[in-house]
Structure 1
Amino acid sequence: MCYDIAFTVSIESIYKYLPGLKAPGSLDIHFDPTWHRIGMSYPQWPVVTNHNGLKLEKYTWGPVPKMLDTLEKVKRQRQLFLNARSEKVLENGTMWNAIRHQRCLIPATGFFEYRQIPGWKNKVAYYIKPKEQELFFIAGLWAMSNSWDVDKPDRIPAFTLLTRAANPLMAQIHNGGDNAGRMPMMLTTALAKQWLQPQLTDTNIRGIIQYELPATQLECWPVNSVRKVKPDDAAVIAPVAYEGLPALQV
């Protein structure tokens, strides 16, 4: 699944792709560029919604479903809701189906995934990004969640990031673990705008989540592990040469 993302440009870059956000007060949001955030830290992240008008706000990554009704359950299980399989959005009886009309966009400049190499002790981290645009949008869903924070007792807006079956390139990288063969639900700018339209039918939603970004539109390279504490700067995505690393088939 996708738990590691980056946003390395200025927040104003989002307005180039979604000019409708240029409304009074919309530029008040502040978000410093970051080369890596991990979902399990439940960070705040800029998201775009069309809830009572097109807005750019900061939501917390990781909703807290009602079933997580104790702090102990939250600590054990919240990370399971950082991502949602796009297939579940239209599956009756799921939490994601219940909030399918609460759609959002998660802007990012890249994301990280780990590749399992036969015979290697450790997996190899890769940084993945679109070839020809400085940022892209991932489809998401949002919900009001219990914060479980003594300093913020009120319910807070939180989001989950949708994933889909991996394209041929990502299938080679995300090839191990319980959720192998997945990638973020990356959208074209046109589909991103459609995703936010409030009048979408289930048929419309199905059409959008069936989109697969072609592998030829992505570029990637090996990096050092991002699961170790390090400065939040460009060194995080610096290419690393691993001796004997099998080439990816593109």
Structure 2
Amino acid sequence: MYIRIKAKQRKDTIMCWDISLHTDIEIIKKTFPQLRDERRQLDYNYDYLENVQAITFPKYPILYKDKDSSQLALTEMEWGVLPTYIDDPKLQADRRRNMINVRSERILEDKKSYWYRLRKQRCLIPVSGTFEHRAVKGWKKKVPYFIGAEGRELFYLPGLYQWHETVDEDGVVERVGSFGMLTRAANEVMANIHNDGPNKHRMPLFLPEDLERQWIEDINEEDMPPIFLFEMPNEKLKHYPVYTLRGYPSRPDGKHRYEAFDWEGLPPLGSDTAQTSLF
């Protein structure tokens, strides 16, 4: 189902590029019992889904409603909206890396923008949590953190999606979906974790259950700003450092990627200066 490829990461765009799904996705059907299941892949490799990295535009299960249907559906789409207005494959891939995340504040700002065109094509991204990297002065490498929703085994991040058609060498036409994850300005906790880089102090748009459901319903433009402006309270987010994510390394303690890891000498959040370098 998933193919790992090497790709050049652009340092000016890295943020919110790692999500985790380590909970049985069938839980979704308990929350949305009328869900239509359109997935081709039903058996997931949850070891892989523990840390899904957007750089390869991986396929991922999402919830969406077609414009012509009122029924919610579960399908698989590629993470990173495909800029169909670009024909050159290399330029298209480069531009696509900037379309993995969607700045929620800008969706309604420019009525000529790509995101405004997709504003009615809303989706929910089921996750167990996300990952973000924290810089610590004196340490050569950043420390990854797992961020989840307190008290929720599975929750949903809002996104925008689109469909496009591809034609293989045999002339077979296939409809392929792609999506982008909504982000906003970080709350205090996330600002202390995502504390470095050109896109620092950003976070996924974490929502309470009622706003998750509202996002996927038929809402008007005037209903969107209150959703975009919602700031998840610090105490509603669980967060802790985990082991290195890049390169899919094996943990020395043999635990899962999303489990807490004790970095010796790691200063508390809000204090980013360490006495010694551990890397």
The match for 2:76 is 58
Contact 1:83 1:161 in 2 (8 A): yes
The match for 2:29 is 15
Q: 1:211 aligns with which of 216, 220, 230?
A: 230
Give the count of matched residue pairs: 246
Consecutive unaligned residues of structure 1, counting only runs of 5 or more, are none
Instruction: Calculate the aligned-residue CA RMSD, in Å.
Output: 2.3
Shift of 1:77: 2.5
Consecutive unaligned residues of structure 2, counting only runs of 5 or more, are 1-14, 271-279
The match for 1:35 is 50
Residue-by-residue CA offset, 1:118-148 (whole Å, 9 max, x unaligned) = 2221111111111201011101000124659
Contact 2:122 2:216 in 1 (8 A): yes
Instruction: Please tell me whether residue 170 in structure 1 is matched to residue 190 in structure 2.
Output: yes
Structure 1 residues 148 and 140: CA distance shift in structure 2, 3 A? farther
Structure 2 counterpart SS, 1:186 = coil
CA distance in 2, matches of 1:179, 1:114: 12
CA distance in 1, matches of 2:72, 2:250: 34
**Identity percentage of aligned residues:** 35
The match for 1:2 is 16
Structure 1 counterpart SS, 2:265 = coil
**TM-score w.r.t. length of structure 1:** 0.90
Contact 2:39 2:75 in 1 (8 A): no
Q: After the TM superposition, which residues 119-158 of structure 1 pair with which residues of structure 2 at under 5 Å, given as runs? A: 119-145=138-164, 154-158=174-178
Residue-by-residue CA offset, 1:184-216 (whole Å, 9 max, x unaligned) = 111222111111112x11110111111111110
Which protein has the larger Cα radius of gyration, Structure 1 or Structure 2? 2
**TM-score w.r.t. length of structure 2:** 0.81
CA distance in 2, matches of 1:2, 1:31: 26
Instruction: Please tell me whether residue 247 in structure 1 is matched to residue 259 in structure 2.
Output: no
Residue-by-residue CA offset, 1:31-90 (whole Å, 9 max, x unaligned) = 523211100111111111121121111111111113432111123222111101001111
- Higher share in helix: 1
Contact 1:142 1:160 in 2 (8 A): yes
Shift of 1:149: 7.1
Structure 1 residues 140 and 123: CA distance shift in structure 2, 3 A? same
Contact 1:127 1:222 in 2 (8 A): yes
